[in-house]
Structure 1
Amino acid sequence: MHLLMILIVLAVAWWLRCSWNQPQGSWSLRWRRSLFLFLFPPLLIFMTAIAVLCMGTQGQMGGMYTGWVSYVLALLFLVFFALLCIKLAFQGLQSVKSARNCSLVNLGDRQARLLQTDALFAGQIGFWQPELVVSQGLVQTLSPNHFESVLAHEQGHYYYRDTFWFFWLGWVRSCTAWLPNTEPLWEELLVLRELRADSYAALQVDPLLLAESLVLVVGSSPVLSEICCAALGSSSVGDAYGGRCLRLEQRIEALLAPPESTPEIQQSWNGFILAFLPLLTVIFHT
């Protein structure tokens, strides 16, 4: 019975991921739909594995006997998820350690780590309290006004704690790479993250200046680990040039368009309650 429950949950998770299509509508709608389809299937699988583990290898459920196969399968799932979390946490700590090896400089009323490279880079690196990291090339190349727009964008990432939330979303991405549309949904969430930081910055600086800064910086940033990093020119390591141009075009269009309400990543968690339904099956196990 437990094995049947696991197979049903995997089928539901697969079907939900296959239902994703190209993003349309407002930011709020795109956030809700993309975040739900990205996060709900793995959460459903995770809760099912915990439920099977709690019920054990003995007893009956719905008049059917349970066995060790489903138990071992659930245990392997959870061990796999835990090992991936440990691996990503270690890589994130390495990124933070590398950032803290950079010299600390004052940028007006802010402090930042200075990356010794001619490439144009600005990003927040860390977990809940990330540090601003800028490259020497960025400081030397951009005008004061453009540089201020870049700092405003990075302040948006700090305000929304993007490095913290996207560490966990990145863990989900690694755990469910085998599910359909994992990468397209991840790319969509990255785009929305950058659009949100752009919107935050546009309230403090001229949106046109920020759009010009995007053109200068995006695509010229050094390849750094995405883990615990939210950068102005954020893109996947394997990202194609055409994909970068499309996302840059979306961001510039959004900056030049009338402002739209900014969504919160923490919104609309009520729908995720359904993912905890597998835990209720424990009471039917005897």
Structure 2
Amino acid sequence: MMHLIMILIALTVAWCLRSSWNQPQGNWNLRWQRSLFLFLFPPLLIFMTAISVLFMGPQGQMGGMYTGSISYVVALIYLAFFVISCIKLAFQGWRSVESARNCPLVNLGDKQARLLQTGALFAGQIGFWQPELVVSQGLLQTLSPDHLESVLAHEQGHHYYRDTFWFFWLGWVRSCTAWLPNTELLWQELLALRELRADSYAALQIDPLLLAESLLLVVSNSPVISEICCAALGSPSVGDAYGVRLEQRIEALLAPPEPNPEARFQSWNGFLLALLPLVTVIFHT
């Protein structure tokens, strides 16, 4: 009974936190921190609660109340679902990487890239921790050298921040918590902020106006590419979010530059609260 109460409390807190999200405004550094917290903390709390219940086992007492096997089975099923989802996404990502590696290599100045045989305009990083740059034949034939340089600078931003690696795990969280409120809206917000961050990185090296022009050219002719293990200049979106994200990026490029959001230790302190369920283990006998 006590373990079921723990699970219900974790679900209630997770649901309430996700429900509290609304479309933020202002500094995109603060938007990043808030959106990432609301996206990650609820599933992390549920995950740690399930780990705690699994660790304590189906028998024993806690707080003077006997524990049962129902909560143990629920936690086991949920964790198994997490693992299966991770394996599924990893397999899909591996297929994307293998598909990219089958493309021929081309030299772009001092960089090497995989050439995608399509007339559509595409440039993206595909892979995990060490992604490969993939560009389309249409992109090389359509863009001027200056516009191409701005696109490559944007993709270098994705590589610098290891976006393909981190967003693989965020995509895993998304697939496991699609039933929570605002999961898709938060995911779209994080994708938008990811692109804003890469745009900001590129704008430090090339003319922001040139990058804005390249962005308009590429996103209007981009093919549909899987989001798994891919970070591209023209990332896919859904519904009205496509136009909103594009407008935000153009406005950010034309506005005075903001400092890039570097990881700060204090911004991660709130996630430590998700470990509280592990403390309950010491009260289990």
- Aligned counterpart for 2:241 among listed residues 243, 247, 251: 243
CA apart distance, 1:188? 0.4
Q: For each residue in 1:248-275, what CA deviation from the matched residue of structure 2 results, as whole angstroms up to 9, or x when unmatched?
A: 1100100000010111367621110000
Structure 1 position 281 matched with structure 2 position 284: no
Specify the SS of the correspondent of 2:92: helix
Describe the shift of the 1:73–1:272 C-alpha distance in structure 2 as closer, same or farther (beyond 3 A). same
Cα contact 2:140–2:148 (8 A) shared by 1: yes
Distance 1:39 1:220 in 2: 33
Q: TM-score, normalised by structure 2?
A: 0.98
Aligned to 1:161: 162
RMSD: 0.9
Aligned to 1:213: 214
Aligned to 2:251: 253
CA apart distance, 1:219? 3.3
Read off the aligned partner of 1:157 and give its amino acid letter.
Answer: H
Structure 1 position 192 matched with structure 2 position 190: no
Cα contact 2:174–2:183 (8 A) shared by 1: yes
Specify the SS of the correspondent of 1:269: helix
Distance 2:64 2:131 in 1: 53
Q: After TM superposition, where is structure 1 displaced by more than 2 Å over at least 4 residues in a row?
A: 264-267
Q: For each residue in 1:153-207, what CA deviation from the matched residue of structure 2 results, as whole angstroms up to 9, or x when unmatched?
A: 0000000000000000000000000000000000000000000000000011100
Q: TM-score, normalised by structure 1?
A: 0.97
Q: For each residue in 1:67-99, what CA deviation from the matched residue of structure 2 results, as whole angstroms up to 9, or x when unmatched?
A: 000000000010000000000000000000000
Structure 1 position 136 matched with structure 2 position 137: yes
Read off the aligned partner of 1:280 and give its amino acid letter.
Answer: V
Specify the SS of the correspondent of 1:263: coil
Structure 1 unaligned regions, length at least 5: none
Distance 1:275 1:247 in 2: 31
Distance 2:263 2:210 in 1: 26
Distance 2:264 2:143 in 1: 34
Specify the SS of the correspondent of 1:258: coil
Aligned to 1:227: 228
Read off the aligned partner of 1:112 and give its amino acid letter.
Answer: A
CA apart distance, 1:23? 1.2
Percent identity of equivalent pairs: 81
Aligned to 2:17: 16
CA apart distance, 1:144? 0.5
Cα contact 1:9–1:48 (8 A) shared by 2: yes
Cα contact 1:219–1:244 (8 A) shared by 2: no
Distance 1:229 1:266 in 2: 25
Aligned residues: 283
Structure 2 unaligned regions, length at least 5: none
Read off the aligned partner of 2:90 and give its amino acid letter.
Answer: A
Read off the aligned partner of 2:157 and give its amino acid letter.
Answer: G
Aligned to 2:47: 46
Describe the shift of the 1:245–1:265 C-alpha distance in structure 2 as closer, same or farther (beyond 3 A). farther
